[in-house]
Amino acid sequence: MSDRLLDLRNVQKRFGSVVALDGVSLQVASGSVHALLGENGAGKTTLMRIAYGLTRPDLGRIGVGGTWRHFRSPMDALDAGVGMVQQHFSLVPSMTVAENVVLGTRLPFRPTVIRRIVLELAEKTGLPVDPDARVETLSIGAQQRVEILKVLVRDARVLILDEPTAVLPPQQGRELLSWVRNFCTEDRAVVLITHKLEDVRAVADAVTVLRGGRCILTGKTYDIPDDTLVGAMLGAPLEPVERVVRHAPSGPPILQAKDVTLRDARGIVRIRNADFSVRAGEVIGVAGVEGSGHRELLRAVAGRLKPFSGSLVLPQRVGYVPEDRQNDALLASLDLRQNLLLHDAARRRGFLRWKSVERSAESLISAFDIHASGPRAAVDTLSGGNQQRFVLAREISDRPDLLVAANPTRGLDVRAAQYVLELLGKLRDDGMAVIIQSNDIDELLETCDRILVTHAGRVREARPDRDLIGRIMVGAA
């Protein structure tokens, strides 16, 4: 096993009655990028948390560089040369980049020294960061770079990245993947958890597909055709996506923005003099790179952010699926009934009738095929995809005039994403106006009637042309 930098053998793990991993083995060769592909809940993240010492396996062995190891904590994994960047970053927001990078290391702790170490490392690895910036002020992309540096500063030879491109706009995602390619020299390896085929094709040398806690397929990427990979992921061939037939919106305008200027919480102008309108019965897409103002634009049309100036006329009822559903849309430890009540909590008066709330929750669960043990299941017992479905179901349950959804397919597997997009199309056909923001231009092109692009605070409508949209996003048009 000399060329096997990371060697997982027969790993088993169960959480309560649920079998998360049922004897999975994975061999990652030196100098290779190994993609770990699978639907939500396939066990990809659990397997890698075990490889990083965050979760203890019930059974199985972990080998690194030819030696069997026993990891009691991430410290042991890092000492062995295994590092992981989790999907939800584990940074300390109030601390500086330099402090976050050296946290838990044995480096000499003097501000000037750690600053220099971080700068040198950033230079050497080609991951530019400002060592003195506080993490909470950074964009998602920069935070991700800090996470990677945190691992590299410990001389990790095996780098595990969990869905790294999911949070990035396309351009930055491509840059990251090419960085991964360059990073992966002779004595190193990268494990890339993803459910995007294009990521696999772009960078992976080898691929392993997990489904339901079992290893379904493993091999060299170029040996395996797309259909086989998709089949292995889903277990059944995917139905061809039905192209949406566009039709002219018939309804009256329900949202009108005139000369709208938006400021973020820190008072920085994020959107300048925006003019646009939305009619009932159309789907509007919003595209933009990190920091271009799309985030504030979405919050404004959802009624969560008051314009600093200009006039913004919104319909009476607006449903909102925020980007960070776990923190902004759900109370994780409460059950589905209570989370359902949150929807119009501010308008409620008098006593709660729990029986009717329970019935509504039940009907949402069955109507939207949410996998939950019942209305009394706590939200954090649901998988990410089911949480997303629940939020969406809740937000459209009272038939709003407008639905605003940020990254509605983020973190969803192919099947779940398709379901959500189809649902949005159906709502449009019923006369609802829908605004969605996505990092995936193709997804917008497939789903939307019109597309608004934000760049540096300006909002522009763009023809449904992939290249044109991409150029506007990066400011090249």
Partner 1 sequence: METLLTAFLASTVRTATPLALASLGEGMCERAGVINLGMEGTIIAGAFGAAVGAAAGGTVLGIAGGALAGLVVSCVFGIFAIWLRTDQIITGTAVTLGALGLTSALYRVTFGTQGVALSIPTLAPLPLPLLSSIPVLGSAFFSQPVLTYIAFVLAPVCSWFLFRTRTGLIWRATGESPEAVRSAGGRPVQVQLLATSLSGLLGGLAGACLVLSQVGTFADGMSAGRGFIAIAVVALGRWHPSGILAASLLFGGSSALQYLFQAAATAIPYQVFLALPYMMALVVLTSGRRGHAAPAALGGKLENSLS
Identify which of residues 267 and 350 has a Cβ nearer to partner 1 in the complex.
267
Of positions 18, 103, 342, 456, contacts partner 1 by CB under 8 A: 103
b/e for 397-422, b at 16 or more Cβ within 10 A?
Answer: beebbbbbbbbbbbbbbbbbbbbbbe
Site string for partner 1, 121-150 (x = CB under 8 A): -----------------------------x
Distance CA 13, CA 214 (A): 11
Distance CA 63, CA 13 (A): 17
Please report whether residue 116 would count as binding partner 1 according to CB under 8 A: no
Please report whether residue 86 would count as binding partner 1 according to CB under 8 A: yes
Q: 466-474 and 170-183 are packed helices; what angle lies between their axes, rounded to 10 degrees?
A: 80
Tell me which H or E stretch contains 215.
strand 214-220
Of positions 90, 327, 333, 363, contacts partner 1 by CB under 8 A: 90
Give the chain's largest Cα–Cα span: 69
DSSP string, 415-477: HHHHHHHHHHHHHHHTT-EEEEE-S-HHHHHHH-SEEEEEETTEEEEE-S-HHHHHHHHHT--
Please report whether residue 12 would count as binding partner 1 according to CB under 8 A: no
**Closest distance to partner 1 from the beta carbon of 158 (Å):** 15
Please report whether residue 15 would count as binding partner 1 according to CB under 8 A: yes
**Closest distance to partner 1 from the beta carbon of 99 (Å):** 6
Please report whether residue 155 would count as binding partner 1 according to CB under 8 A: no
**Closest distance to partner 1 from the beta carbon of 81 (Å):** 13
Please report whether residue 91 would count as binding partner 1 according to CB under 8 A: yes
Given the DSSP bridges, would you call strands 158-162 and 82-85 parallel, antiparallel or unpaired? Answer: parallel
Region of 2-10, 72-80, 273-281, 355-363 interacting with partner 1 (CB under 8 A): 72-80
Helix or strand or coil: residue 155? coil
Identify which of residues 377 and 473 has a Cβ nearer to partner 1 in the complex.
377
**Closest distance to partner 1 from the beta carbon of 57 (Å):** 11
Please report whether residue 54 would count as binding partner 1 according to CB under 8 A: yes
Asked if residue 118 lies in contact with residue 98, where contact means CB atoms within 8 angstroms, the answer is: yes
At position 280, the amino acid (one-letter code) is A
Of positions 5, 8, 34, 99, contacts partner 1 by CB under 8 A: 99
**Closest distance to partner 1 from the beta carbon of 393 (Å):** 28
Distance CA 35, CA 200 (A): 6
Region of 73-81, 123-131, 262-270, 382-390 interacting with partner 1 (CB under 8 A): 73-81
At position 13, the amino acid (one-letter code) is K
Of positions 74, 131, 285, 425, contacts partner 1 by CB under 8 A: 74
Of positions 22, 29, 61, 95, contacts partner 1 by CB under 8 A: 95
Please report whether residue 266 would count as binding partner 1 according to CB under 8 A: no
Identify which of residues 237 and 267 has a Cβ nearer to partner 1 in the complex.
267
Please report whether residue 87 would count as binding partner 1 according to CB under 8 A: no
**Closest distance to partner 1 from the beta carbon of 55 (Å):** 7
Identify which of residues 25 and 86 has a Cβ nearer to partner 1 in the complex.
86
Which residues are CB-contacts of 251 (< 8 A; sequence separation ≥ 6)? 279, 280, 281, 282, 431, 433
DSSP string, 353-404: -HHHHHHHHHHHHHHTT---S-TTSBGGGS-HHHHHHHHHHHHHTT--SEEE
Identify which of residues 109 and 222 has a Cβ nearer to partner 1 in the complex.
109
**Closest distance to partner 1 from the beta carbon of 176 (Å):** 20
Please report whether residue 56 would count as binding partner 1 according to CB under 8 A: yes
Please report whether residue 109 would count as binding partner 1 according to CB under 8 A: yes
Please report whether residue 29 would count as binding partner 1 according to CB under 8 A: no
Reported for 98-101, long-range contacts at CB under 8 A and 24+ positions apart, including other chains, are: 98/131, 98/132, 100/135, 100/146, 100/150, 101/131, 101/146, 101/149, 101/150, 101/153
Please report whether residue 332 would count as binding partner 1 according to CB under 8 A: no
Identify which of residues 19 and 54 has a Cβ nearer to partner 1 in the complex.
54
Q: 226-234 and 414-429 are packed helices; what angle lies between their axes, rounded to 10 degrees?
A: 80
Region of 30-38, 71-79, 230-238, 333-341 interacting with partner 1 (CB under 8 A): 71-79
**Closest distance to partner 1 from the beta carbon of 137 (Å):** 15
Instruction: Report CA torsion sign: 294, 474, 257, 425.
Output: negative
What's the alpha-carbon Rg for the chain, to the nearest Å?
23
Identify which of residues 90 and 277 has a Cβ nearer to partner 1 in the complex.
90
Asked if residue 118 lies in contact with residue 131, where contact means CB atoms within 8 angstroms, the answer is: yes
Query: Which of 298, 289, 296, 291 has its CA nearest to residue 471?
Result: 289
Identify which of residues 114 and 473 has a Cβ nearer to partner 1 in the complex.
114
Can you give the binding site for partner 1, defined by CB under 8 A? 15, 54-56, 73-78, 84, 86, 90-95, 99-100, 102-107, 109-110, 150
